[in-house]
Structure 1
Amino acid sequence: MSEIRLYSFRRCPYAMRARLALRYCGVPVRIIEVSLKDKPVEMLALSPKGTVPVLSVDGEVIDESLAIMQWALARHDPDDWLLQDDPAVLALIAENDQGFKYQLDRYKYAERYPEQSREDYRAAGEVFLRKLEQLLAEREYLLADHPSLADMALAPFVRQFAHVDREWFAGAPYPNLQRWLEWFLNSPLFIGVMAKPHVLL
């Protein structure tokens, strides 16, 4: 197998979750940190849409973060992140990617969306937070008694939502979600993929 390259941006939640899965599965990957203001020509040649992450391996290009995670887990999934292909995993990720992310962008960048207030966008995003809180009231992780693809695919986005107003999130009525996010932020896997320089070995 030729060198596997991942074009990434450290703080992007999509790139973050791709790095989490690649590190977990143990495939050696060369991480190329991208400046979003000056995207490398070679990345644009592989994926003209110009977004991260982009995985290049043996002539194959994968430029969707969830597809990269699935590619990694197909090679090695020692702790059953896929939960035996339980459809609930992809269903929850779809809710995050299609609904929650929409509200997250408007909450974080409310000045770009003056149609509503930041508080209104936050309240809309809280609908999904309440669902996660309920799931986490029943077990330690979202869908099982151990971390799954759902936890790793969603946590970078919940992190971003929480960090828009950390004081508000710390006082919000989501103790189980706060506990879960704290676990994620302190996990060796997350710390490893956020290290500078972040090279997966």
Structure 2
Amino acid sequence: MSINTPLPLAILYSLQNCPYAMRARLALLLAEQQVQLRAITMKDKPEDMLHASPKGTVPVLIVKKERHSKDDGFDPENDQVVEESLDVMLWALKRNDPENLLYYNDLEALTEMLKVIEENDKEFKPSLEKYKRAKRFHGDDLETCRLECEPFVQKLEQRLSENEFFMGATPSLLDFALLPFIRQFSRVNKAVFAQDEYANLRLWLSKHLQSRLFSRAMFKYPLWLETGEVCVFGLD
């Protein structure tokens, strides 16, 4: 008689304040997917993570596909590697989406969400990095860099003037994919972000940052390489 042994938990390599890792953690919580979280720093990357994903950035999700697959690291013959944050989000939500964040009743919704996320990642994020650097190094181009971010931010503000969330009356994948980046934008110059032109985005951001979900996503785990402790992420 065979025993149906459950698969080992997937392993998530994560960096505490990386916006890409944050969006992955948010999605895993929303999808109610438990994983073994391994907190790292960019100055000390685990060899096993680099073996699975030589790009060396987070998040990296190692999914065990066989019950006999090693549960302590990467097994190239039996494990699946998901190494882009959006792919981690979609992996989790396609397994379980209790809040309908993918808007299954709207056939065009996911295409629209992915388009805006791509704009965030490829256009807004580089502009945001310039804005952050200008603030950090007291550059005289701070306002120019902020204005470079404005077209994307104002599109989001306009969306929120029509609905409570970016895609409609309920949250979506888009809200949680953009949350870490809008959080960063709001913190570069808090006095500017407090102005009326960001009223809807400020309210949206405040609701998310004060939520229990965000607190759970930002819980600080011990560094994997220092402790070797098994940390199960997603336990309520």
TM-score (norm 1): 0.94
Equivalent-residue separation in structure 2 for 1:111 and 1:20 (angstroms): 28
Equivalent-residue separation in structure 2 for 1:136 and 1:6 (angstroms): 32
1:200 corresponds to which letter in structure 2? G
Identity of aligned residues (%): 46
1:167 matched to 2:183: no
Equivalent-residue separation in structure 1 for 2:22 and 2:33 (angstroms): 16
Whether contact under 8 Å (2:127, 2:148) holds in the other structure is yes
Unaligned runs of 5+ in 2: 1-6, 65-78, 222-230
Question: Match for residue 68 of structure 2?
Answer: none
Equivalent-residue separation in structure 2 for 1:27 and 1:174 (angstroms): 34
Measured on the aligned residues, the alpha-carbon RMSD in Å equals 1.9
1:15 matched to 2:39: no
Equivalent-residue separation in structure 2 for 1:50 and 1:11 (angstroms): 16
1:106 corresponds to which letter in structure 2? K
Question: Match for residue 32 of structure 2?
Answer: 26
In structure 2, relative to structure 1, the CA distance for the partners of 1:102 and 1:26 (3 Å cut) is same
Match for residue 92 of structure 2 among 34, 54, 72: 72
Unaligned runs of 5+ in 1: none
1:44 corresponds to which letter in structure 2? L
Equivalent-residue separation in structure 1 for 2:59 and 2:209 (angstroms): 21
Relative to its length, the structure with more helix (as a share) is: 1
Whether contact under 8 Å (1:106, 1:113) holds in the other structure is no
In structure 2, relative to structure 1, the CA distance for the partners of 1:181 and 1:71 (3 Å cut) is same
CA deviations 1:68-127 (Å, max 9, x no partner) are: 000000100011101125121111111111111010111112389999812211111011
Equivalent-residue separation in structure 2 for 1:114 and 1:177 (angstroms): 26
In structure 2, relative to structure 1, the CA distance for the partners of 1:114 and 1:167 (3 Å cut) is closer
2:132 corresponds to which letter in structure 1? K
Number of matched pairs: 201
In structure 2, relative to structure 1, the CA distance for the partners of 1:2 and 1:185 (3 Å cut) is same
Question: Match for residue 47 of structure 1?
Answer: 53
Whether contact under 8 Å (2:15, 2:21) holds in the other structure is yes
In structure 2, relative to structure 1, the CA distance for the partners of 1:156 and 1:56 (3 Å cut) is same
In structure 2, relative to structure 1, the CA distance for the partners of 1:95 and 1:53 (3 Å cut) is same
Structure 1 outlier segments of 4+, above 3 Å: 111-116
1:30 corresponds to which letter in structure 2? Q
TM-score (norm 2): 0.81
Which has the higher mean CA deviation after the structures are superposed, 60-69 or 86-95? 86-95
